[in-house]
């Protein structure tokens, strides 16, 4: 379980295909002794399991494996060496819940429609996959590339979010441009409410 509050930017050190899996080596500022083998870390909003690790000056390098289903539903398969990824360690009991409850289970890919500066912030508009449009509502929450954001507006074309300067500076959202694909996870409460309504029909 996560909160959508990015704790660090990682960099892709290696990307290797093995028997249908994608093995990613990620450099991160996390201390190696604080990362357990089997730990869950969200990468651009996708929960992945640490299978190897090593210490290095100023942080660590670790390996995660991406299964075929995750490759089909997320942007992880398009990562290249040198790319940055939003990282978040899994939530621990007692941690501050600063964003919203995020599972790290990407619902699908959205397409960035536009990115423009709006005052001191930036406004991003996204076209979501049709399968989750009914789960997105004004003032509701959504995770874009693992970042917890509030939906500002919704229309037939898509939805918009406003990014504050801090979030812009510490995540990969500042690299987005029109036409890019982004991992989307709809709000968990909206998902279960929709499922309950369907079950009662």
Q: Which of 8, 39, 90, 105 is catalytic?
A: 105
Domains 8-89 and 108-200 are alike in CATH topology:
yes
Q: At 181, is the pLDDT very low, low, confident or very high (cuts 50, 70, 90)?
A: very high
Indicate the pLDDT class of residue 196, thresholds 50, 70 and 90. Answer: confident
Q: What is the CA radius of gyration of the chain?
A: 17
Report the CATH number of the 8-89 domain.
Answer: 2.40.30.20
Q: What is the pLDDT of residue 191?
A: 72
Binned at pLDDT 50, 70 and 90, residue 42 comes out as very high
CA torsion sign for 60, 2, 180, 164 is negative
Residue 6: closest CA among 115, 190, 143:
143
Domain ranges in the chain are 8-89, 108-200
The residues, any chain, with a CB within 8 Å of residue 183's CB and separated by 6 or more, are: 44, 45, 46, 74, 75, 106, 109, 110, 143, 144, 145, 146
What tens digit of pLDDT does each residue of 156-166 get? 999 999 999 99
Q: What is the arithmetic mean of pLDDT over 1-6?
A: 92
pLDDT at 100 > cutoff 80: yes
Q: Is residue 9 pLDDT above 90, yes or no?
A: yes
Active site residue 47: yes
How far apart are the C-alpha atoms of 89 and 69, rounded to whole Å? Answer: 22
CATH topology of domain 108-200: Elongation Factor Tu (Ef-tu); domain 3 (2.40.30)
The band of 188, judged by pLDDT with boundaries at 50, 70 and 90, is: confident
- Annotation says 40 is catalytic: yes
Q: How far is CA 190 from CA 85, 97, 109, 137, in A?
A: 26, 18, 18, 9
- pTM above 0.85? yes
User: Catalytic one among 67, 72, 178, 193?
Assistant: 67
- Confidence (pLDDT) at 122: 98
Is 105 one of the annotated active-site residues of the chain? yes
Asked about 2 being catalytic, the answer comes back as: yes
Confidence bin at 107 (pLDDT 50/70/90): very high
């Amino acid at each position: 379980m996560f909160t959508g509050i990015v704790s660090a930017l990682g960099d892709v050190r290696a990307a290797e295909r093995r028997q249908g899996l994608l093995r990613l080596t990620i450099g991160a500022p996390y201390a190696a002794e604080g990362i357990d083998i089997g730990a869950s870390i969200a990468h651009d909003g996708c929960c992945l399991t640490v299978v190897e690790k090593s210490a290095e000056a100023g942080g660590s390098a670790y390996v995660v494996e991406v299964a075929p289903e995750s490759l089909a539903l997320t942007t992880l398969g398009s990562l290249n060496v040198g790319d940055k990824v939003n990282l978040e360690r899994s939530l621990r009991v007692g941690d501050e819940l600063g964003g919203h409850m995020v599972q790290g289970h990407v619902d699908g890919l959205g397409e960035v429609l536009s990115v423009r500066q709006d005052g001191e912030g930036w406004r991003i508009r996204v076209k979501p996959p049709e399968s989750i449009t009914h789960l997105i509502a004004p003032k509701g929450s959504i995770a874009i590339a693992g970042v917890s954001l509030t939906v500002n507006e919704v229309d037939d074309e898509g939805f918009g979010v406003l990014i504050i300067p801090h979030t812009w500076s510490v995540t990969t959202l500042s690299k987005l441009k029109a036409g890019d694909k982004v991992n989307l996870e709809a709000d968990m409460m909206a998902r279960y409410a929709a499922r309950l309504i369907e079950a009662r029909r």
